[in-house]
Structure formats: structure tokens, C-alpha cells
A and B are shown apart, each in its own frame.
Chain A
């Protein structure tokens, strides 16, 4: 669906607010529906006519928001039962909009799709997927160069937040035998490390290591 869309967002919490902001900045027409009056008052300074007070699972409120001409209705509240009913009511009463629901409890995802919600988004699931990825990435040691027919390697490791050596100085570390740090890449900068060099998350560490010591070095990082 290209071009400008009309998108109704139910729930002006953190997710709804930022989504609305983003869509408006992209040039779309947006209506935020929020039940809490003081939240509406606070946000109307910023959203003007693009926010209204009401219970988004009520047919009258959705009608007033113009659900019959909306392209998408997104339910972003923190309560799955509200998000489900918003989407179901939209599907039953207004033929046009696609419905998207935020799923707070990942176990509800299957239920939602089975009950006529077009798409559902679970932050917990997304974050979990990222953590899984991070765990894998943390394990990854990229061999850059092999010397002496594979006996000695130059490897690169990107430090995760959970790395043992983050916030530690080289002089305080005991390196595995036959290994040495040769460079630390921090953003655009390349640091030639010495005793006082302190590691930070996301540093890319280059090390020269004998193959026999590689597992020990991996463990340390």
C-alpha cells in the first residue's frame, strides 16, 4: 500500500505515541484514541486534531474517529483483551481497515491470529529474538588472517555488553598464553592497546593468538 494512509492508533502509551509521531513525520494521516483524559490533554499540544479521548473498543468511538475510511487500525494498549476487542470490532463493523494488534503476552499471539486480527506484534518476542542473536554474535570470533599454515591467527571479536573484559584494563587481565591484543577499533578510531587501555562494549578487538590458545581467549572475551 503506497502513498498517504489514514491510520487509527488505539492507546497513546509509549508505543502508540511514538508510532503516531513517526507516521505523522512520514506524512500519513493519524488519529490517536486514548481513554485517559489527562494524557489526551497533555498530548493534544503536540497532536492537535490527531488525538481524541475515548474507549477505542467502543463502536461509537471508532466511528467518530472515522474507522470506515481508515486504511489501518492499530491497537497498542498494554492490555491484550482491549487490543483483541478493538481489532475484532473493527473487522466486524468497518470493512476497510487492516488490523494490527500489539500482543503483550506472547502466548496470546496464536489466539489473535485465529480470531481475525490481521497481524500481531509482540515486543517480548522481538527482544527475545535479538537476545538470541546477541548470544550467537557474542560467541563469534572472526578469523582475519592465518599465519604459519594455521598455527597462528589474527582474530576479531566484537565485545558484547556482557563480556567479562568490558570496563577492565589490559594490565588487570591475565591473557591466555601465546596471545596478545594488537588493536582495538572503537567507532572510527583505531587504538593501539597498552596496559592502561580499558575495554568498552562494542569495541572490536583484534588479537594475535596461537590456535591452541584460541578457546581460552574466546572464553575470556
Chain B
């Protein structure tokens, strides 16, 4: 798979490392060069310093070498705008936004935007622990 990850934070970097290890073709974009220090030394994918909201930074990758895009910066609204713009301008197999606000994540799902909500996932786990104990 050819995967573009916008936002090399705690989650984005680990996802990038795992996908790279598994043999996928990975491109990581972050505004901050320092963020790439989170990637493992063995990481063989591409690193791009840039803003995911500015088309010039994402266009070359999305036109040529991506099947999936994950927008996973630390800002919900940034992620939501990135995926909506990408969906309008590019033909990608899958475009996913990470949205921490549970209500927002649900709302945009109804609008046809694919979202993943870390808050919901943590809560699900915690609730399961309680029922199991």
C-alpha cells in the first residue's frame, strides 16, 4: 500500500514506522522538521516538511504515489479540512481524519467523512476493563 500520513506526532510516527517495517510505501508530512525525530532510524519512507493544508505539499504525493491518506495532526479541525479538500481534488481509495472530539467525529461520519476517534477507542477499552473486573 502507498500511504500518506499528515502529522508525525505520537500516533502518526508509530503508524509510519509500523507500516514501513511491514513493507508499505510511506510518505510522512509534518510542518516541523523536529517531528521526524520520532521516526525510527530504519524508517525508509519519505519525509516532507510542509503544511498539509497547503496543496503544493500534498499534491505530488497524492497524484503519484498514494492509495490512502491519514490526516492525524493534533488539531481536529485541521484534519477535517485536509480530508475534505483531498476528497474534492484527488481520487484516493481512502481518506481518513483522526478526530479527538467524539461528537465531531460522529457528525462528520454522517456527512460521509471517514473519521477515527481516539477518545472513543480509549473509552471503549476502559469500559471493557470495568466490565471484566
Residues of A within 8 A of B (CB): 57-60, 79-82, 84-85, 88-89, 92-93, 107, 111, 114-115
Contacts and interface: CB of A to CB of B under 8 A. Distances in A.
Contact of A85 (B53, B55, B85, B104): B104
A60 B103 CA distance: 9
Nearest to A116: B111
Given A88-B111, A92-B110, A111-B88, A58 B80 contact: no
Contacts of A114: 88
Nearest to B106: A59
Interface residues of B, number: 18
A79 B103 CA distance: 21
A58 B103 contact: yes
Interface of B: 53, 55, 75-78, 80-81, 84-85, 88, 101, 103-104, 107-108, 110-111
A11 to B, nearest CB: 13
A111 B53 CA distance: 12
Contacts of A57: 76-77, 104
B104 A80 contact: no
Given A92-B111, A115-B84, A82 B77 contact: yes
Please indicate which of the listed interface residues A59, A81, A92, A107 has the most CB atoms of chain B within 10 Å of its own CB.
Answer: A81
Contacts, number: 44
Contacts of A89: 104, 107
B103 A81 contact: no
Contact of B104 (A59, A79, A107, A111): A59
A125 B47 CA distance: 34
Contacts of A115: 84
B88 A81 contact: no
A57 B88 CA distance: 22
A81 B101 contact: no
A134 to B, nearest CB: 29
A187 B19 CA distance: 70
Nearest to B111: A92
Given A84-B81, A111-B84, 19 more contacts: A57-B76, A58-B101, A59-B103, A79-B77, A81-B75, A81-B77, A81-B78, A81-B80, A84-B77, A84-B84, A85-B76, A85-B77, A85-B80, A85-B104, A89-B104, A92-B110, A92-B111, A107-B55, A111-B85
